[in-house]
Structure 1
């Protein structure tokens, strides 16, 4: 059930899952991806573990506000961006305000991990635990391989079938080589995302925000909440050095890497990742009690 909230001066589409009395868990999705890319079953499994899960569309994707008047930004080094990752972190904090959440456990994937990092830096009291998955503190850490860059910057789809075919091409390059690609799932989600919204320029504006936001390592050194960093050892889009740099930047962070995992979260890895998130929250509860 998708709802709308006014937050940080924009409209944000979000989807709550589970009992509102349970532990608040905010899921932040990655570049060009919508809330539907958080798998329904993944969210349901988290809710069964005692979480009130909220997934949402970042600005410039899905049903949230798009900055179309900003056009297509310049991606050359040093160019200005329509907004920064800190603004997107402000969106997440504003959504938490709208939900009545003083703080939440925060899980971000890829660009969503960068936003989660920015949230922990800029709004430290709002983050109970931080989980950064297949992400990086800087565009310079864990840079994409040439093959991943070519897949990412391929021509945008012109229609629904083209969006499905492009998604299959991209995930065949950046997905997990150690696990079979679920082509049916990729195709279904690509079609669903196209039906909800199709704005390739919005993805470019998000990418501009990543490039213009620079290095968060110094800010992450001040993060004091229990932190989990998850990364695939075979990730070609954000190479594992990006995850290692994230974990090195945050005092006490736990680094969990998986052989054969690329730039996605295969179904067989859900349980160990969810177990690690639950353990992280136990550390948070113990720290609060002690």
Structure 2
């Protein structure tokens, strides 16, 4: 069931899995993605390992607040917010949940937000897991093909969105694993029906590009950290994961051959195992 809370001055939609007595684990999604992009089965696997899992919609995504009045930032103009503001949203959500601290897992832009949270609110983060992310977009720019997909004009209707999703994941997904076209189209349809806001995604992208590098600040992060990355990632190449792990003292880096910019179902047990090893040892 989706619940709404007010945090950092905005409305945030979230869902939870597992016992409230479990280890608090917050999942932060990526650019233009919604909480449903953390697959329910993946969340249940984490819950089975003793976590109280919360997945949520970032600002400008899903059922959380959309800053429609801000429009789409003009080229070179200051964006309406930065990743730091999204990290503050996350801390505010933790306040609303009654979580003084939590294990934090972020994917792609969500990994950037998780990094910013550990920098800005170090006392709130028990462990940090950064997946297919980077401390700076300049460190691991996308390949030309992935960049073209990222900057493609959004489809105008539901049918077009589903077709565009298949094209997108055919490029940035995991070449070492068969693309589940049915799952991709089903999820794209659910996301479209739940909320379709290309301008919101544009504002999130502007926040990424304007937020600068976190490399130096990550050197002050002292919590146990895990960095997971696909070796075949075209959108955020593996150099981004290596740079993240190098920046955080003591971080553990795990890379997966054949994995692109997604979480292949076949790797879920391994990924859940790595996260659980980190959180249970903290």
Alignment of 1:115 onto 2:116: no
Give distance in 2, aligned partners of 1:134 and 1:31: 12
State the shift of 1:31 in Å: 0.1
Deviations 1:248-290 (CA, angstroms, capped at 9, x unpaired): 0000000000110000010111111111111112331xxxxxx
- Match for residue 51 of structure 2? 51
Which secondary structure state, in structure 2, belongs to the residue aligned with residue 12 of structure 1?
strand
- Match for residue 287 of structure 1? none
> How many aligned positions are there?
282
Q: Which runs of 4+ in 1 moved over 6 A?
A: none
Please report the TM-score for the alignment, with normalisation by the length of structure 1.
Answer: 0.96
- Match for residue 207 of structure 2? 209
Q: Note if contact 1:234-1:260 (Cα within 8 Å) is conserved in structure 2.
A: yes
- Match for residue 33 of structure 1? 33
Q: Note if contact 1:75-1:211 (Cα within 8 Å) is conserved in structure 2.
A: no
Structure 1: gaps spanning 5 or more residues? 285-290
Deviations 1:176-207 (CA, angstroms, capped at 9, x unpaired): 00000111111011000000111100000000
Give distance in 1, aligned partners of 2:64 and 2:280: 33
- Judging changes above 3 Å, is the alpha-carbon distance between structure 1 residues 252 and 154 closer, same or farther for their aligned structure 2 residues? same
- Match for residue 8 of structure 1? 8
Q: Note if contact 1:228-1:254 (Cα within 8 Å) is conserved in structure 2.
A: yes
State the shift of 1:75 in Å: 4.3
- Match for residue 170 of structure 2? 172
Deviations 1:51-75 (CA, angstroms, capped at 9, x unpaired): 1100000000110000111111134
Which secondary structure state, in structure 2, belongs to the residue aligned with residue 61 of structure 1?
coil
State the shift of 1:49 in Å: 0.7
Superposed, 1:16-95 pairs within 5 Å as 16-76=16-76, 79-95=77-93
Structure 2: gaps spanning 5 or more residues? none
Please report the TM-score for the alignment, with normalisation by the length of structure 2.
Answer: 0.99
Give distance in 2, aligned partners of 1:265 and 1:141: 22
- Match for residue 275 of structure 1? 273
Give distance in 2, aligned partners of 1:260 and 1:74: 37
Give distance in 1, aligned partners of 2:59 and 2:97: 17
Deviations 1:214-258 (CA, angstroms, capped at 9, x unpaired): 000111000000000000010000000000000000000000001
- Match for residue 200 of structure 1? 198
State the shift of 1:139 in Å: 1.0
